[in-house]
Amino acid sequence: MLQVRLYFAPLEGVTDVHFRGIHARLFSDSPADAYFAPFFSPTADTPMAERDRRGLSRENNIGQAVIPQIMANKPEAFLLGARALSEMGYTEVNLNLGCPSGTVVSKNRGAGFLSDPDGMDRFFDAVFSDPLFSGGDGMHLSVKTRLGMFDPREFYDILPIYNRYPITEVILHPRVRRELYRGDVHTDMLLYTASNSVHPVCVNGDLFTVNDVRCTLKAFSDNGIIAPASFMFGRGAVSNPQLIGQARAMLMGKEVPPLSRDRLYAFFLALYHDAKNRLSGERHVLFRLKELFAYWIVLFDEADSYRRRLRKAETAAEFLSCAEELFALCPFCEDPGFFGNAKMNG
C-alpha cells in the first residue's frame, strides 16, 4: 500500500466544525487523515474571532485531526493568529495562498499574495525567524497555493521561495487565480513541482473520483516521479462524502465501496437536524440546505424538476419534504466513476 495521506479541504461556509464532526462520525470507517479548517483572518485587535475559536476548540473537534488555516499577508498578523492556535494546543497551521475570491485577492491575500514574490519572501523570513516557528518543538507551517495570478509560469519564481524555508508541505491546486475552478488543471506544472520541491507535495484540485487519483498516480509513475505525499479532496468529497474512503480502499488494493443512497440520506438528515437545532431563523437553515444540495443534486438522475423545487423552496419544511421525495423516487448513481462527470462550481 502506498503511504499517502488523504485530506479534507477547507471550503468556506461548508466544511465548518459541524460538518466536519458529522462527517467524521458517520464515515468513521474511512476518516480523513486531517480536516483542514476554513481560514480565519487575524488582526492586531482580534487575533481570533470568537466564532473561529469555538470552531477550532478541541472539545468541539473530538474524533478529528484538524489543521487550522490562516489568511494573512502580514507576518505580524499571521503570528498573532498562530500564537493563539499554539495556546489552544495546535502544532501545525496552514497558510492560505490559494483562495481566488475577488474580495480576498483585492486585499492582496490568498492567491492575490502570489503576485508579490518579494513580499512573500519577506513574509516567510519574518515568520520563520520568530521563536514560535524557528524552534524544533514549535509550530509547523504548510502552504495551500495556486500557481500564480495569471500565468502558470509564475510558479517558477514562487516555488524557489517555498524551497528556501522549512515548510512542512506544499498543497498545490495547479491552476492560476484567473482560472478559478474552470478548465483543466496544469498537470505539467504539478509534475514540475513534485520534481523540484524540496518539501512533500500534496495534490489538490479536480479530484472527484477514485479514477482521478489513479490517473494522477499514473502520471507521476510514467514520468519517473515518486508518488505525492498526500491528496486533498474538496468539492469532490462534499459531493461524494465517501470519496476519501473510496480512495483509501483503492490505495490498499481493496474493492472500492460505492456511496449508497441510504448513507447519503443519513448524512443529509444529520446535517439538517444540526442546522435546525443550531441556527436561528428559517432563512439560515434553508440557506444551509440549499448550499449542500448544490453538491448532491448531481448524484440523482432525472432530477431537474426537483432541482427547481429545491431552489424555489421558501421554508425548511418545504425543502425537507421535497428532498425526502427526491431520495425516495429518483434514480441514484452509486458508481464511483460517475462523479467526475459532474464537476461542481465554486
- State the CATH number of the domain containing residue 79: 3.20.20.70
Are residues 277 and 230 located together in one domain of the fold?
Answer: no
Are residues 242 and 273 located together in one domain of the fold?
Answer: no
| Mean per-residue pLDDT, 37-52 | 96
The most distant pair of C-alpha atoms in the chain lies apart, rounded to whole Å, by: 60
Q: What is the pLDDT of residue 342?
A: 44
pLDDT above 70: residue 337? no
Are residues 247 and 300 located together in one domain of the fold?
Answer: no
What residues pair up with 46 in beta bridges, in sequence order? none
341 is a domain residue:
no
Round to whole Å and give the CA distance between 172 and 144. 6
**pLDDT band at residue 135, thresholds of 50, 70 and 90?**
confident
Are residues 146 and 294 located together in one domain of the fold?
Answer: no
Are residues 282 and 211 located together in one domain of the fold?
Answer: no
308 is a domain residue:
yes
Are residues 47 and 170 located together in one domain of the fold?
Answer: yes
Are residues 310 and 175 located together in one domain of the fold?
Answer: no
- How far is C-alpha 238 from the chain's CA centre? 9
338 is a domain residue:
no
Q: What is the pLDDT of residue 3?
A: 85
Average pLDDT over all residues of the chain: 93
**pLDDT band at residue 341, thresholds of 50, 70 and 90?**
very low
Total domains in the fold of the chain:
2
Assigned C-alpha cell, 208: 472527484
Q: What is the pLDDT of residues 81-112, one digit of tens each?
A: 999 999 999 999 999 999 999 999 999 999 99
256 is a domain residue:
no
Element (H, E) at 103: helix 102-105
Are residues 192 and 310 located together in one domain of the fold?
Answer: no
Assigned C-alpha cell, 311: 431552489
Are residues 183 and 316 located together in one domain of the fold?
Answer: no
Q: What is the pLDDT of residues 163-200, one digit of tens each?
A: 999 999 999 999 999 999 999 999 999 999 999 999 99
**pLDDT band at residue 334, thresholds of 50, 70 and 90?**
low
**pLDDT band at residue 138, thresholds of 50, 70 and 90?**
confident
344 is a domain residue:
no
337 is a domain residue:
no
pLDDT above 80: residue 315? yes
Domain enclosing residue 313, as ranges:
261-329
For residue 335, CA distances in Å to 80, 242, 261, 300, 338 come to 46, 12, 11, 11, 5
**pLDDT band at residue 126, thresholds of 50, 70 and 90?**
very high
Considering 251, 285, 306, which residue would you say is the last residue of a domain?
A: 251
**pLDDT band at residue 345, thresholds of 50, 70 and 90?**
very low
184 is a domain residue:
yes
Considering 227, 251, 275, which residue would you say is the last residue of a domain?
A: 251
Are residues 293 and 317 located together in one domain of the fold?
Answer: yes
Assigned C-alpha cell, 167: 515548510
pLDDT exceeding 90 applies to what percent of the chain? 88
**pLDDT band at residue 281, thresholds of 50, 70 and 90?**
confident
110 is a domain residue:
yes
pLDDT above 90: residue 1? no
Are residues 121 and 40 located together in one domain of the fold?
Answer: yes
Considering 197, 226, 251, which residue would you say is the last residue of a domain?
A: 251
**pLDDT band at residue 343, thresholds of 50, 70 and 90?**
very low
Are residues 87 and 194 located together in one domain of the fold?
Answer: yes
Round to whole Å and give the CA distance between 70 and 36. 11
Position 151: which residue type?
D
